[in-house]
A and B are shown apart, each in its own frame.
Chain A
Amino acid sequence: EVQLLESGGGLVKPGGSLRLSCAASGFTFSSYAMTWVRQAPGKGLEWVSSISGSADSTYYADSVKGRFTISRDNSKNTMYLQMNSLRAEDTAIYYCAKEEQWRQRLMDVWGQGTTVTVSS
């Protein structure tokens, strides 16, 4: 069974940093691009960042570019999101999602999410 498990969320002050992790199981992790999507409280879905299976390509939303860094360790079947210079508007549930192998940016499996709260 394909599973994704996010961790690393929490309460952080504005300007602070957090690193989210997404542990994957049940599929050949290195063969699939992965994506982070977030959802602010009571709001809709917002794409944050994506990374190719080999990690040679990364993409970011303008709202996080220069502050967030996506990465992956295929030997550990884990994806990461390093979040720096956090702002109140980054408060959200962060979901990791697996993409379909031959259809970029189509998210077919989602984790349950980890909550990030940026507040003083």
Chain B
Amino acid sequence: ETVLTQSPATLSLSPGERATLSCRASQSVGSYLAWYQQKPGQAPRLLISDASNRATGIPARFSGSGSGTDFTLTISSLEPEDFAVYYCQQRNNWPPVTFGQGTRLEIK
């Protein structure tokens, strides 16, 4: 099973700041890594597919990078609605599909 480790567990930033979230895989997942955003009481929402492709309707301030085992989600300038939990997910080595444990992005 491919284990995804996200860091940090919690990130405290202010609106307007830049956020950098990390996801590391226990083995190569190629570029088959996605990022999801989840707000309290809501379902997850797809942000980024295949490491760097923004999903439909996702603002340009969200960007993804990486390949193999190391990936990054960057939010260039935080908006109030961006404070949420972010999960990475790999679909290269399945079953099982695996998710990271999440990074909570909170307002400082």
The residues of A with any CB-CB pair to B shorter than 8 Å are: 35, 37, 44-47, 50, 59-62, 95, 100, 103-113
Q: Contacts A106-B49, A108-B46, A113-B43 given: A44-B91 contact, CB under 8 Å?
A: no
Is B64 close to A, CB under 8 A? no
Assembly CA distance A91 to B34 (angstroms): 26
Interface SS, B side: loop
Interface SS, A side: strand
Which residues of B have CB within 8 Å of A108?
46, 49, 55
Determine if B89 and A61 form an interchain contact, defined as CB atoms under 8 angstroms apart: no
CB-nearest residue of chain B to A93: B43
Q: List 21 A-B contacts (CB under 8 A).
A: A35-B97, A37-B44, A44-B100, A45-B36, A45-B87, A47-B96, A47-B99, A59-B94, A61-B96, A62-B96, A105-B91, A105-B97, A106-B34, A106-B91, A107-B34, A107-B46, A107-B89, A108-B46, A108-B55, A109-B46, A113-B43
B33 smallest CB distance to A (angstroms): 10
Is B45 close to A, CB under 8 A? yes
Is B50 close to A, CB under 8 A? yes
